[in-house]
């Protein structure tokens, strides 16, 4: 990832704030936050990437995204329905 791309993400909001918000989603029983499957056994020995690492990586790869809007959308999509 280029320096300019990463700067866009870091400057818009601190990475710690994003991690905190993602961890709060993960800790809540109201949201489905299962780990994602990954085929690369060298990088992920158990073939799973955590919810937080997955979404943080996505935000790093897409620096033009608004992190707060992205997390708001996650809340809508991952909300457990009765």
Q: What's the whole-model pTM score?
A: 0.77
Count of domains for the chain = 1
Q: Which range of residues forms the domain containing residue 66?
A: 3-78
Residue of 3, 4, 2, 8 whose CA lies nearest to 66: 8
Please determine, for residue 68, whether its predicted confidence score (pLDDT) is greater than 60: yes
Copy the structure tokens of residue 77.
């999509």
What percent of the chain stands above pLDDT 70?
85
Return the pLDDT at 1.
42
Question: Mean per-residue pLDDT for 52-56?
Answer: 93
Length of the chain: 82
Looking at the DSSP assignment, which residues form a beta bridge with residue 79? 31
């Amino acid at each position: 990832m280029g320096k300019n791309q990463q700067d866009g993400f870091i400057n818009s909001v601190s990475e710690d704030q994003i991690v905190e918000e993602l961890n709060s989603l993960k800790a809540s029983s109201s949201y489905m936050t299962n780990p994602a499957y990954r085929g690369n056994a060298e990088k992920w020995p158990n073939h799973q990437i955590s919810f937080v690492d997955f979404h943080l990586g996505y935000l790093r790869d897409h620096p033009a995204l608004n992190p707060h809007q992205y997390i708001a959308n996650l809340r809508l999509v991952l909300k457990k329905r009765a």
